[in-house]
Amino acid sequence: MTVYINAISGLTPFGNLDQTWKGITDNKVCYSELRKFPWDKYTRSKVAGEVKFNAEDYSSISERDREKMPEYMQWALASAQELLDGKELNKERTGVLVSSSLSMYLETIRANAKNVDNTFTFTPNMISNNINIQYGFTGPSTMTSSACSTGMYSVIIGCMLIETGQADNIIAGAFDNSVAPDSYKQFGKLRALSTKFNNTPEKASRPWDTKRDGLVLSEGGAMFLLSNEKTPETLAEISGYSMTNDAYQVVAPHPEGAMIEKCIKDTLNGHIPDLINAHATSTPMGDYIEIDALNRLGLQDVWVTANKSQIGHLMGAAGAMELALSVLSLKHGAITPSLNIDYLEDGYNIKYTPTTKNYMVDSVLCNSFGFGGANASILLSKT
């Protein structure tokens, strides 16, 4: 059974998905100096991608929701409103699998610190259940948390629910608001954040560049309407997917990248894509392992893009947003740029563009690799 993507929505520090695409194709970045809290108390990195969001712009978010609901859940409700505008779905045959990774843990920490007595509203599955309650969907509903691969895992599991007949439609995606003191403290301890570009924050996220020194935390997310039915509004079909695990370490990918290679190979099943949307976090080890796996599979002549060079790392929502941007590459015939690559690392045999390139894109491979060795790849194709 073929699973189709019939609608997409989302937000980043650029704005909604349309504004994000414009920022991306205008060759801009959406991260800058961290302003949400006094950075020097928690971290040596003062770069962040911060979402500017007005909940009052969305009828789906009540005044009570604005007061009680965590911000990332509000983003999910707002994106659901945009996604479902004008859609008539069978409520009994529609499920929801919208997820989060870091945000749900941060929210628990915040609630405990404030001695909040209604912490049940922060249980992880509420990000999906809020959408069910709002729209009356009674199909399968859950969430998953797989570190940086959370968004991609949500889409893949959504595909499985449709393929096994559990639902006709699945609303899938992920949202994270990770720009918070605790996340900066923890990632700082891991030395995972960029600190060398505090005075030029727009240059901080630089996958594949010799001067890269860590990732840039950002926030937002994306959402998809998956369906077993092709419609005039269909944007893409999901032609392949795979999930593997390194079974190696909590924070480091396996240096040989065998399970990353297998994940990509199983997803492609012999197909050569026109574009690869790389995980490319701007960390020394992670960048190399992915490129090495792609080269071993003979994909060195395929165009590759690194969205995190423009939007930073949305953590659990990164794969969801990058998958949405991959859909838009199919729709608009464009290869998105990879910025801040002044000197490409030696041995990185890749084909990229520093500015948006018009190109007939018929298929895109999208990769996400998370802490704990959680790997996910999805192949998108034009219909």
pLDDT at 288: 94
> Annotated catalytic residue: which of 30, 159, 263, 313?
313
* 51/309 Cα distance (integer angstroms): 17
pLDDT at 218: 98
pLDDT at 117: 55
DSSP annotation string for 108-160 = HHHHHHHT-S-GGGG-TTHHHHHHHHHHT--S-EE----GGGHHHHHHHHHHH
pLDDT at 121: 56
Let me know if 313 is a catalytic residue: yes
pLDDT at 112: 61
> Annotated catalytic residue: which of 148, 159, 263, 366?
148
pLDDT in tens, the chain (383 residues): 899 999 999 999 999 999 999 999 999 999 999 999 988 888 899 999 999 999 999 999 999 999 888 999 999 999 999 999 999 999 999 999 999 987 877 776 666 666 555 555 567 788 999 999 999 999 999 999 999 999 999 999 999 999 999 999 999 999 999 999 989 998 988 899 999 999 999 999 999 999 999 999 999 999 999 999 999 999 999 999 999 999 998 888 899 999 999 999 999 999 999 999 999 999 988 899 999 999 999 999 999 999 999 999 999 999 999 999 999 999 999 999 999 999 999 989 999 999 999 999 999 999 999 989 999 999 999 99
pLDDT at 32: 98
DSSP annotation string for 7-46 = EEEEEETTEEHHHHHHHHHTT----EE--SS-GGGT-S--
Let me know if 148 is a catalytic residue: yes
pLDDT at 124: 76
> Annotated catalytic residue: which of 30, 159, 263, 279?
279
Distance in Å from the first CA to the final CA of the chain: 14
DSSP annotation string for 319-332 = HHHHHHHHHHHHHH
Question: Token pair of 53, please?
Answer: 């969001």
pLDDT at 83: 98
pLDDT at 241: 99
Please list, in sequence order, all residues whose beta carbon lies within 8 angstroms of the beta carbon of residue 16, skipping any fewer than 6 positions away.
Answer: 9, 10, 82
Q: Which domains does the chain have, with CATH numbers?
A: 3-227 (3.40.47.10), 238-381 (3.40.47.10)
